[in-house]
Structure 1
Amino acid sequence: MSRFVRRLRSLPLRSRLALLVATAVAIAVAAVATICWFIVRGQLYGQLDSNLRSQSHSVSSDQVNFITDNCNQRVPGYIHFRGPTVQVIYTSGRVCTTPDAPPIPVQSADLAVAQGTSPSALHTTVDRAGTRMRVLTLPVVTSDDTRVAGVAVSLATPTSEVTKPLTTLAWVLLLVSGIGVLGAGAAGLWVARSGLRPVDELTNTVEHVARTEDLTVRIPVEGDDEIARLSSSFNSMTASLASSRELQQQLIADAGHELRTPLTSMRTNIELLSRSEATGRAIPPEDRKALMASLKAQMTELAALIGDLQELSRTGLAGSEGTIRVVALHDTVRTALERARLRGPELTITSELAPWYVRAEPASLERAIVNLLDNAVKFSPPAGSVEVVLMRGRLTVRDHGPGIPDDELPYVFDRFWRSQTARALPGSGLGLSIVARTVESCGGTVELGAAEGGGTVATVQLPGAPTPPPDIPDVP
């Protein structure tokens, strides 16, 4: 059995499907043919028994007496017309059979009828000539319905009246079954080819994509069956892969563009310092100090850009290197506010923080809040103010800077995007993108819009609760 299963699995899917269809149809046809044969057999035997019972009424006492008088003797001129063989049975087991007919073996059921302990007997046996007979045994009754004690009469007819039609029927059913199985095999092969044609198209498309890396190929979707769903899913997958590749290429191009500027400036400053050392022409102290400050600022900007790129390169939840746990959002905002006050000591930063607990990766959440506050500090005017409010999971950060034009609001969360007013300020253009990524991974939303009276207001909504939940295991 296991060898058959291994061989079956080694066949192509199309051949397996055709073989399984043919096997299923063969089993069904065989079952139907067998049931049909047994039903016809039962009907034919029932009709044969019914004929025997109806013919038993024509057996008269005179005929019984004739058979008894000529018990197993040859009667000259006797002609046995077509009909059942009649045999008289005595309780002693002695039998008298129709002249010129072979005796029929007596069974215990026949003797029970002769002894009066059984009303009738019906069975199949073989006579002494080797013919298979259907035998009906009944008591002998006189014309006045009086039963003759110690005697019974058996009527027997060859079962060939049943077996011959059954044999013919068996051959017909076998022929029809064979034709049905062959037809089922052909139909199964056709169904397999037709049903697997979309799979072949999908396979060819996958091989084409693997060979050419062309993610623009799409499979036509027809209907709404499983194959159509598979094709639709494949199209969605290739579209997602194409989009991911495009975003990756865009990220590489944008990162290269952003890295080129500080690197070019650093190379220029370093070449200037090297030329000064090589020629012996010293750079004035003030210029040298400004040059070194520029190098330091460019290195800081480059390190920040690389850090932001590393943050964006993480997969899964924001900060997949950390662990998701219950975080006190108000404490995280409070810590970020301390850092923001150090970066903008001349600013007035006010806060109103209500307790709120969320599930997040602590380091990534803190970085996102710091980026949001840094953005407000960066665009606030000197001696300006920043208001931070956390109430029922809604965090708002409002500054009084120049604001963001309405036509630029749809792009503020794109990677490396920077408004015209921010291009002269330090930054990589990745801060708000990191904020959006982190907030979305926590199941929240973030928006940036114009504030009443000028400036910008950032709104972050995170799901959570004002009280810490019961002990919940950390999610790695």
Structure 2
Amino acid sequence: MTDTQTQRERPRRGVVETVHQRMHQWTLRVSLAARVATLTTTAVALTLSSVSAGVYVVVRAELVDNLDASIRVRAEQAVAAGYTPGSLNEQDADLLDVAGMEIYRVEGDRVLATLTGSTKVQLTETEVAVSLGQQTSSARTAIVDGDAYRVVAVQAGPASALVMVQRMDSVQHTLDRLGLVLAITTLAGMAVAGAAGWAVASNGLRPVRRLTRAAEHVARTQELQPIEVVGRDELARLTTSFNQMLMALDASQAQQRRLVADAGHELRTPLTSLRTNVELLTQASTAGRPLTDDQSTEVMVDIRAQVEELTSLIGDLVELARDEPLHHDPEPLDLSEVVEHAINRVQLRAPSLTFATTLEPWWVVGEPRALERAVTNLLDNAAKWSPAEGTVEVSLQDGVVTVRDHGPGIAEADLPHVFERFYRSREARTLPGSGLGLSIVRRAAERHGGTVEVESEPGSGATFRMTVPGSNPSAPHTPVSEPSQ
């Protein structure tokens, strides 16, 4: 592109950008209903204008063609009757002149005579071409003193043409009335389209305004009240989705409140015990009656146990409160190795137990730390309820991690709640723990696209099964699908 072309294009781009900016500002200021009504009116106006213009052009062409045909027929009849400049008397010429008609006879390239004696319309080369035999006939429109005339020429013999000229008043009058009717129709259509567009937009956007008011009410009052669903269209689906979002948000808030309340309740016991022991040490020191070595050791062991319980509880709370998706870069891993590492960790904490294992390779794509913690929590739970010198059966087959203990089992009333946060059965309340371990297991399984379930009968132990999608490859690098995040 040359410099001159570039300079010419710059003003055009500037005008286009200015128009776009003004249109954008207008859309920001005007309501959606007004925009819909405006667009509807504009679309109807363009459609009606196009149709009206087409109708006008077609009717005009048809009227002109009919007028030409009529004039041509009369001219041919005049030629057949042998009209000559002297064949018309003065009265006939006056009548033709009053009717707005003129008759010329052209010989060769010149006007031989005007039969009516009128010379308003000047003949051109078009009529001369007909007289010379170059064309069989011709038709054109001539404007004289603001009046339109139709000029039609036909051959009238060798090197001769007869030209008839007629005013187009009737045609123009018809076209004027047609143009007026079309203009009124277009304006009326635009008005009806604008009113209809405004009515449709106002009624159609009523659910949107209800959603807007509901969202503003939620933002202002924090009250998550669903709104009424009307109809079955897309707006009704939008309202249903909005209500579902409100219910999910309400459930999340309720869950957060319950988490805070349960966490406060669980933290109160170890903190109270820890404060009691610290006050005991402080009073013994200030009263001048120090504790014996055995008493001091007992108090310190108790304090250490309470600190460990607090540490474990806070860690579990942080794990559950994060509520974040699976790690953005999960890695392929052998779940059997994760289970084996977890068994080694729990074995150190429960040396008197025997862990009978049956592990098969099972490759998954996931987060090793989350999976190992889930398996560790299952094993810790089994170790807590297993009798002394007992056996915990651990297996991994087809992606199902099964942990079975031989403890007292779980009561039927407690089975539906074992994976809930802070839920502890009546028997478990006397044992250490926060009631969060199995919740973490369920959370880890769901984050990896799996499930966890439990079966138990009182007196025969409990069996936990955690399923993680993956594959059992013949080679360690066989690809496996990533879990949903």
Q: TM-score, normalised by structure 1?
A: 0.90
Q: State whether structure 2 residue 178 is matched by structure 1 residue 169.
A: yes
Q: Aligned to 2:272, which of 259, 264, 274?
A: 264
Task: Report if aligned partners of 1:325, 1:473 keep a CA contact under 8 Å in 2.
Answer: no
Seen in structure 2, the aligned counterparts of structure 1 residues 413 and 134 have a Cα distance that, compared at 3 Å, is same
Q: After superposition, where does 1:460-475 map in structure 2 within 5 Å?
A: 460-467=466-473, 468-469=476-477
Seen in structure 2, the aligned counterparts of structure 1 residues 235 and 97 have a Cα distance that, compared at 3 Å, is same
- The amino acid across from 2:57 in the alignment is F
* Residues matched between the structures, number: 461
Q: State whether structure 2 residue 31 is matched by structure 1 residue 12.
A: yes
Distance 2:92 2:450 in 1: 114
Q: After superposition, where does 1:121-140 map in structure 2 within 5 Å?
A: 121-126=138-143, 131-140=147-156
SS in 1 for 2:324: coil
Deviation at 1:390, TM superposition (A): 0.7
Q: Deviations over 1:244-280 (max 9, x none)?
A: 0000000000000000011111111111111111112
Q: After superposition, where does 1:77-476 map in structure 2 within 5 Å?
A: 78-81=93-96, 82=99, 84-102=101-119, 104-126=121-143, 131-140=147-156, 148-215=157-224, 217-318=225-326, 320=327, 323-450=329-456, 454-467=460-473, 468-469=476-477
Distance 2:415 2:91 in 1: 126
- Of residues 167-176 and 387-396 in structure 1, the stretch that sits farther from structure 2 once superposed is 167-176
Seen in structure 2, the aligned counterparts of structure 1 residues 298 and 358 have a Cα distance that, compared at 3 Å, is same
Seen in structure 2, the aligned counterparts of structure 1 residues 3 and 456 have a Cα distance that, compared at 3 Å, is closer
Distance 1:138 1:56 in 2: 7
Q: Deviations over 1:77-109 (max 9, x none)?
A: 854244843221111222422223325333333
Q: Deviations over 1:344-375 (max 9, x none)?
A: 11111111111111111111111111111111
- The amino acid across from 1:138 in the alignment is V
Deviation at 1:178, TM superposition (A): 2.1
Distance 1:456 1:26 in 2: 77
Task: Report if aligned partners of 1:68, 1:88 keep a CA contact under 8 Å in 2.
Answer: no
- The amino acid across from 2:468 in the alignment is L
Distance 1:87 1:271 in 2: 133
Q: TM-score, normalised by structure 2?
A: 0.89
Q: Counterpart in 2 of 1:144?
A: none
Deviation at 1:292, TM superposition (A): 1.8
Q: Aligned to 2:57, which of 20, 24, 38?
A: 38
SS in 1 for 2:427: helix
Deviation at 1:18, TM superposition (A): 2.2
SS in 2 for 1:406: coil
- The amino acid across from 1:111 in the alignment is V
Q: Which runs of 5+ in 1 are unaligned?
A: 141-147
Q: Which runs of 5+ in 2 are unaligned?
A: 1-18
Seen in structure 2, the aligned counterparts of structure 1 residues 183 and 76 have a Cα distance that, compared at 3 Å, is closer
Task: Report if aligned partners of 2:383, 2:392 keep a CA contact under 8 Å in 1.
Answer: yes
Seen in structure 2, the aligned counterparts of structure 1 residues 392 and 474 have a Cα distance that, compared at 3 Å, is closer
Q: Percent identity?
A: 39
- The amino acid across from 2:222 in the alignment is E
SS in 1 for 2:196: helix
Q: Counterpart in 1 of 2:6?
A: none
Deviation at 1:316, TM superposition (A): 2.4
- The amino acid across from 1:169 in the alignment is L
Task: Report if aligned partners of 1:64, 1:88 keep a CA contact under 8 Å in 2.
Answer: no
- The amino acid across from 2:149 in the alignment is M
- The amino acid across from 1:174 in the alignment is A
Task: Report if aligned partners of 1:262, 1:298 keep a CA contact under 8 Å in 2.
Answer: yes
Task: Report if aligned partners of 1:8, 1:16 keep a CA contact under 8 Å in 2.
Answer: no
Deviation at 1:223, TM superposition (A): 1.7
Task: Report if aligned partners of 1:105, 1:126 keep a CA contact under 8 Å in 2.
Answer: no
Seen in structure 2, the aligned counterparts of structure 1 residues 262 and 3 have a Cα distance that, compared at 3 Å, is closer
Distance 1:349 1:471 in 2: 31
Seen in structure 2, the aligned counterparts of structure 1 residues 76 and 401 have a Cα distance that, compared at 3 Å, is closer
- The amino acid across from 2:427 in the alignment is T
Q: Deviations over 1:165-224 (max 9, x none)?
A: 111211222222223222322322222322222222111111111111111x22211122
Cα RMSD between the aligned structures?
2.4
Seen in structure 2, the aligned counterparts of structure 1 residues 377 and 60 have a Cα distance that, compared at 3 Å, is same
Distance 2:109 2:203 in 1: 75
- The amino acid across from 2:461 in the alignment is G
Distance 2:471 2:426 in 1: 39
